[in-house]
Chains A and B, each alone.
Chain A
Amino acid sequence: MPDMLSVIASLIKRDVTTALRRSSDILNPLVFFAIVVSLFPLGVGPEPNLLRTMAPGVLWVAALLATMLSLGRMFSSDYRNGSLEQMVIAPYPLTLLVIARVSAHWLMTGLPLVIMTPLLSIQLQLDAAATKTLLLSLLIGTPTLSFIGSVGAALTLGLRGGGVLVSLLVLPLYTPILIFGAGAVSATATGVSPDAHLSLLGALLALAITFTPMATATALRISLD
């Protein structure tokens, strides 16, 4: 039996290849991200200092929302075509398969968001140092968003109410990540070290990786009953 790591690796590879075929699944959240960020200056006015102050929060909230929009497809297509049931009865621990799925999700959602961010931070007048912290905070934070989001996605499989319901469930759980993520950037912007914030983000990621796969696996089993 191939070892766990190579199983995870091949699952991730398969998920990524499938996702790349449906490129709109990847592009849509990115476009959403860009549009939402552009809405804020339209709403509050173009005053550079105001935008600079708001930038960490705005970019983080937009990233949160874009991630949330993409959660629906984490398990839904496999659920519909029956391959999710195969995953559940497969000889591998479901938690490992979940970790593989969530990692693939992050590669296709979170990572592109991080890559796109420098463009948007220019729009909001954020300087280079703050942008660097922003990228770091998103890099550490977005995987956590995917992991926590996977629980919401698994719980709401096949339910009507879809995306809005997942938002209700998952957004309150996202608030600490938002606080530390945006806080890190604000810290840099005011000349303070963001290390404490970033370490806390790291701790949250560690917690999420440890606990959420079990919850997601249980939720998947319940949804499939």
Chain B
Amino acid sequence: MWFTKYAAPVIFYPIAGKFIPWLGGITLVLMLIGLYLGLFVAPTDYQQGESYRIIFVHVPSAWMSMFIYMVMAISGAIALAWKTKLSEILASACAPIGASFTLIALVSGSLWGKPMWGTYWAWDARLTSELILLFLYIGFMALEASIDDPRRASRAAAILALVGVINIPIIHFSVEWWNTLHQPASVSSISKVGKPSIHPSMLAPLFIMFIAAKFYFATAVLMRMRAIVLLRERHSHWVTGLEELKS
């Protein structure tokens, strides 16, 4: 496989190091633009007033929480199939970042819920699915933490991630189902209230925040991966020869 050359930690480490500042810079710029457009330029929503602006952090975070889980699961699958070190490391690095986005989605969703529905928590389909997703992430991290050998830990967690990823659409579907069954018709309009009538000038900041979130993920995950690489490869020749270790 041609790409397994890049799967070598020794090649990855310096290349990632060069990319990180650029990715971080782009993230910052995009976030500032997105925030400006979302907080200053986008008009007030007819139904929800100013509180809808939470959408610009809530929706991208919810999306990232799912996206990162997919990356984690696919990376884990590659690690199990080809035993590539970097795939294992990528999967491990993803977990805390994905869990963070899930937490942001839950907290922002909860804070959005108070002005919208009058309550900090409602068992609506999206929040409930996000909560279960948080538990899946925590399970992944707990399993990794309880196995001493890092490679065995990564591979065990990869299996968990794969089982989880098959489960996620099932969980979503079942929670949607459960949600529509248990709500009296008047309250089911909750899920409709959650979607402000999208004005074009609201789409632009939303879109930009989506992209900014991706760049953020790239920055954070590469940073984390480099740290893990240093630890896992500490006995290898190229690590001991690194410039930054000569104090």
Contact = CB atoms under 8 A, between A and B. Distances in A.
The answer on direct contact between A and B (beta carbons under 8 Å) is yes
Contact of A218 (B147, B159, B175, B181): B159
B152 A179 contact: no
A176 interface: yes
A222 B132 contact: no
Interface in A147-179: 148, 151, 155-156, 159-161, 165, 168-169, 171-173, 175-176, 179
A201 B178 CA distance: 14
A222 B166 CA distance: 20
B interface SS class: helix
Nearest to A172: B135
Contact of B163 (A171, A200, A212): A212
Contact of A155 (B143, B170, B178): B143
B171 A155 contact: no
Interface string A173-210: 10110011001001000000000000010001001000
Contacts of B152: 222-223, 225
A219 interface: yes
A215 B178 contact: no
Contacts of A211: 163, 166
B155 A176 contact: no
Given A156-B143, A165-B143, A212-B163, A175 B132 contact: yes
A172 B168 CA distance: 10
Interface in B135-150: 135-136, 138-139, 142-143, 146-147
Q: Which of B138, B156, B166, B175 has the most CB of A within 10 A?
A: B156
Contact of B170 (A161, A183, A204): A204
Interface in B152-200: 152, 155-156, 159-160, 162-164, 166-167, 170-171, 173-175, 177-178, 181
Contact of A169 (B143, B174, B177, B181): B143
Given A183-B181, A223-B156, A172 B139 contact: yes
A129 B160 CA distance: 38
A159 B171 contact: no
Contact of A176 (B143, B163, B174): B174
A169 to B, nearest CB: 4
A156 B164 CA distance: 16
B146 A219 contact: no
Contact of B159 (A161, A172, A219, A225): A219
B74 interface: no
Contacts of B177: 179-180, 183
B80 interface: yes
B176 to A, nearest CB: 10
Nearest to A203: B170
B170 A169 contact: no
Interface in A131-147: none
A218 B83 CA distance: 13
A161 B177 CA distance: 34
Contacts of B139: 168-169, 172
A222 B80 CA distance: 10
A156 B159 CA distance: 12
A172 B147 contact: no
Nearest to A169: B139
19 contacts: A151-B159, A151-B163, A155-B159, A155-B160, A156-B146, A165-B146, A168-B142, A169-B160, A172-B139, A172-B167, A173-B163, A173-B167, A175-B132, A175-B171, A179-B178, A204-B170, A207-B170, A223-B152, A223-B156
The 6 closest A-B pairs by CB, nearest first: A176-B174, A172-B135, A179-B174, A169-B139, A168-B139, A179-B178
Interface of A: 148, 151, 155-156, 159-161, 165, 168-169, 171-173, 175-176, 179-180, 183, 186, 200, 204, 207, 211-212, 215, 218-219, 222-223, 225
Given A175-B171, A183-B181, A211-B163, 14 more contacts: A160-B146, A168-B135, A169-B160, A172-B135, A172-B136, A175-B175, A179-B175, A179-B177, A183-B177, A207-B166, A207-B170, A212-B163, A218-B80, A222-B155
